[in-house]
């Protein structure tokens, strides 16, 4: 009997997660039941939302239970199928978790768009983080040509795509990221007009002359407070994520509602899954821009499933340069 290595949740972290909050175990490879598919996982995704799933705090999704496999989107090959829509060898993406083998309902899996190379694109640009950038920017941020669009965590999986989509919409883009290498990526790879390193530059001075039409906020906290001081009348603030607050036991509010009056601004949160009925539209457009060379991307791949916790902790420290992924085998 083949074995399945899995990374499970061992403890609920208090504050910043530790590697000891996770455990590596081995169980028998499960068999697929009626309507189910067995998938051999090749790559798993590492994302900030997984921090929320480790906690019991009220949220938009149920937490991972202690002892359960860490939830994640993963890409793999079908090994055995009891769903007529899938055959062995098909490459699929789904919520398969941090493990080597997963059984899933056929209806929960998506086949990769034909010719998608590398297949890991289905975990980012042509998948969840690309779709987050696409719907968050265009539907919530509603950029107009000539607008100034500011993006935090701008070199990350979502941020690298937001900046390029905003350029495609004719906007002027300002990216904020941590460290000189990411700052260089902002200008050279993702074509941001202005690149700011929040770890080494004077953020307030760098933003002093900006007038912000759209702020795509991935981080919250002090970075966002600096951007809020530079809003333009009619600004749109897209609340995509607040990663700087995810390890805080009592996150501090970073926005004063009175600013919405001063700037006649709109602030709106969104969840990419709310747009599931339009994913095909988003995937088609994003795949088209990748194929035409209009969208560039970077992956930060960690080798070995057992290193997924370390990659995740690195992501929460800003160590990832591009989309954080783990190659399972």
Ligand X SMILES: NC(=O)c1ccc[n+]([C@@H]2O[C@H](COP(=O)([O-])OP(=O)(O)OC[C@H]3O[C@@H](n4cnc5c(N)ncnc54)[C@H](OP(=O)(O)O)[C@@H]3O)[C@@H](O)[C@H]2O)c1
Binding residues vs ligand X (CB under 6 A): 47-49, 129, 132, 153, 155-159, 177-178, 182, 218-219, 221, 223, 240-241, 243-244, 270-272, 315-316, 318, 320, 324
Rounded CA separation 53/246 (Å): 11
Rounded CA separation 57/52 (Å): 8
CB of 121 to ligand X, least distance (A): 15
| Cβ-based nearer residue to ligand X, 71 or 218 | 218
CB of 282 to ligand X, least distance (A): 12
Among 325, 297, 309, 290, residue whose Cα is nearest residue 158: 297
Among 216, 225, 159, residue whose Cα is nearest residue 192: 159
| Cβ-based nearer residue to ligand X, 76 or 130 | 130
88-111 burial code (b ≥16 CB/10 A, e <16): eebebbbebbbbbbbbbebeebee
CB of 125 to ligand X, least distance (A): 11
DSSP of 47-90: -THHHHHTS-S--SSPPPPTTSBPP-EEEEEEEEESSTT--TT-
CB of 102 to ligand X, least distance (A): 21
| Cβ-based nearer residue to ligand X, 4 or 50 | 50
Q: What length does the chain have? A: 329
| Cβ-based nearer residue to ligand X, 38 or 75 | 75
Q: How many Cα neighbours within 13 Å face the side chain of 97?
A: 22
Rama region for 145: left / alpha / beta (φ>0; ψ in -120 to 50; rest): beta
CB of 199 to ligand X, least distance (A): 7
CB of 159 to ligand X, least distance (A): 5
């Amino acid at each position: 009997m083949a074995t399945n290595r899995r990374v499970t949740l061992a403890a609920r972290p208090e504050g910043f997660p530790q590697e000891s909050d996770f455990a590596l175990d081995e169980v028998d490879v499960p068999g697929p039941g009626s309507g189910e598919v067995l998938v051999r996982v090749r790559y798993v995704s590492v994302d900030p939302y997984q921090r929320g799933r480790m906690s019991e705090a009220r949220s938009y999704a149920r937490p991972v239970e202690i002892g359960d496999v860490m939830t994640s989107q993963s890409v793999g090959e079908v090994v055995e199928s009891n769903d007529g829509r899938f055959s062995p060898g098909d490459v699929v993406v789904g919520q398969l978790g941090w493990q080597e083998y997963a059984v899933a309902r056929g209806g929960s899996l998506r086949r990769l768009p034909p010719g998608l190379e590398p297949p890991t694109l289905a975990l980012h640009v042509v998948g969840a983080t690309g779709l987050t950038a696409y719907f968050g920017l265009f539907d919530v941020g509603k950029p107009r040509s000539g607008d100034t669009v500011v993006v935090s965590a701008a070199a990350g999986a979502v941020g690298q795509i937001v900046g390029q989509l905003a350029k495609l919409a004719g906007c002027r883009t300002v990216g904020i990221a941590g460290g000189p290498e990411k700052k260089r990526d902002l200008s050279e790879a993702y074509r941001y007009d202005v690149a700011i390193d929040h770890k080494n530059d004077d953020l307030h001075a760098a933003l002093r002359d900006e007038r912000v039409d759209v702020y795509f906020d991935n981080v919250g906290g002090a970075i966002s407070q600096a951007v809020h001081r530079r809003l333009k009348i009619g600004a749109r603030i897209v609340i995509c994520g607040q990663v700087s607050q995810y390890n805080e036991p009592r996150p501090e509010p970073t926005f004063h509602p009175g600013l919405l009056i001063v700037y006649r601004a709109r602030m709106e949160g969104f969840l990419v899954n709310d747009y599931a009925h339009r994913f095909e539209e988003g995937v088609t457009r994003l795949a088209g821009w990748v194929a035409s060379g209009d969208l560039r991307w970077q992956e930060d791949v960690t080798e070995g499933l057992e290193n997924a916790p370390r990659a995740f902790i690195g992501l929460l420290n800003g160590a990832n340069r591009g989309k954080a992924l783990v190659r399972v085998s």
